[in-house]
Amino acid sequence: MDDLRNKYLGQIRDASDEDALEQVRLAAVGKKGEVALQMRELGRMTPEERQEAGPRLNALKDEINSAIAARKAGLEDAALDERLRSEWLDVTLPARARRQGTIHPVSQVTEEVTAIFADMGFAVAEGPQIETDWYVFDALNIPGHHPARAEMDTFYMAESAGTDEAGNPFVMRTHTSPVQIRSMEKTGAPTRMICPGRVYRADYDQTHTPMFHQVEGMAIDRDISMANLKWCLEEFCRAFFDVDGIELRFRASHFPFTEPSAEVDIRCSWEGGTLKLGEGDDWLEILGSGMMHPKVLQAGGIDPEEWQGFAFGMGIDRIAMLKYGIPDLRAFFDSDLRWLKHYGFGALRAPTRHAG
């Protein structure tokens, strides 16, 4: 056994790589290795011989296995050291020529919309993207049986997320209108505000994505009317699309949170496959609007007998597609550098509505 011990410990010490070490292991303690063959001989020994040889063979096997494990760890450390010496990288060197980034079309259009409405005296408000269904639906006069509240359209949080103090479950907001309720609760009336931000719906195709961007606005005062709403939206469209002869059409519609309600179309032409606004005989829907429902005002803590207001909402991604000729809404969120380079805006070349 001493000869076996010295033989294999020497081979283990001299093994130059893991393949050679594996060959030594098989020859020593593998199923057909010398130590294994010696252990088979135990059955032919007398009890006294077996009592002496058995522990020595087990000890020899354990010693060889320990030596193999230690040598394997040493070989792995040596291989790692060699890789670190040969594969080093100077992180202080630039990986590529420095390039200037671009402003995403959604960010650019959000900036344009905010600037235009700021000129009209609208403040900007923000709110949580994870809301209770009371703010998203109930406070906006959307009844429990409304299709928008179904799980096929709305992302509900898991039951483990819990509920608010009133037992209302949490959802990913489907529009930014909850910010209007929170704004009314905070500031009361009179008020003028817009609320741009991300919203979430279970939908995905060329003109819909599960996450997109909306901007909604409202104005509340004692003598607000549909005439004020019409003027406000016309001025916005003229400024945003940079078309003086813009023409809007208000079509009667129904939204739970406004009464009366109107969908707004813009006159356009598709002649030659090119969209031109302010001319032609076609109409393109761009937003929804209306006078705020009394129940919505009440939910925000405002007396509808004393105050009234209008509200509107539009998709930021949609109006960006119209203004800058982007054909597919899904491309906004693909993170394709080629797309961003083509449609993005240089920081010093981006159009702006801000003076100076």
Q: What is the DSSP secondary structure assignment for residue 256, as one 8-state letter?
A: T
pLDDT, tens digit, for every residue of 249-307?
A: 999 999 999 999 999 999 988 887 778 888 888 898 999 999 999 999 999 999 999 99
Q: Vertex 58, ends 53 and 62: CA angle to 5°?
A: 150
My answer on whether omega of the bond before 178 falls inside 30° of 0, hence cis, is no
Amino acid 356: pLDDT: 41
Query: From residue 314, how far is each of 71, 194, 297, 311 by CA, in Å?
Result: 69, 11, 21, 11
Amino acid 354: pLDDT: 60
Q: Which of 238, 136, 151, 131 is nearest to 202 (CA)?
A: 151
Amino acid 353: pLDDT: 66
Q: Which of 112, 328, 329 is nearest to 215 (CA)?
A: 112
| Rg value, the chain, Cα | 36
Low-confidence ranges of the chain (pLDDT < 50): 356
Classify domain 105-346 at the CATH class level.
alpha beta
Amino acid 149: pLDDT: 80
Q: Is the dihedral of CA 274, 275, 278, 279 positive or negative?
A: positive
- The residue written with tokens 């509340």 in the block is 220
DSSP per-residue codes, 56-75: HHHHHHHHHHHHHHHHHHHH
SS3 192: strand
Report the C-alpha gap between 111 and 126 in whole angstroms: 14
Q: What is the DSSP secondary structure assignment for residue 166, as one 8-state letter?
A: T
Question: Which of 141-148's residues contact partners 24+ apart within 8 Å by CB, and which partners?
Answer: 141/256, 141/257, 141/293, 141/295, 141/296, 141/299, 142/256, 142/257, 143/256, 146/256, 148/174
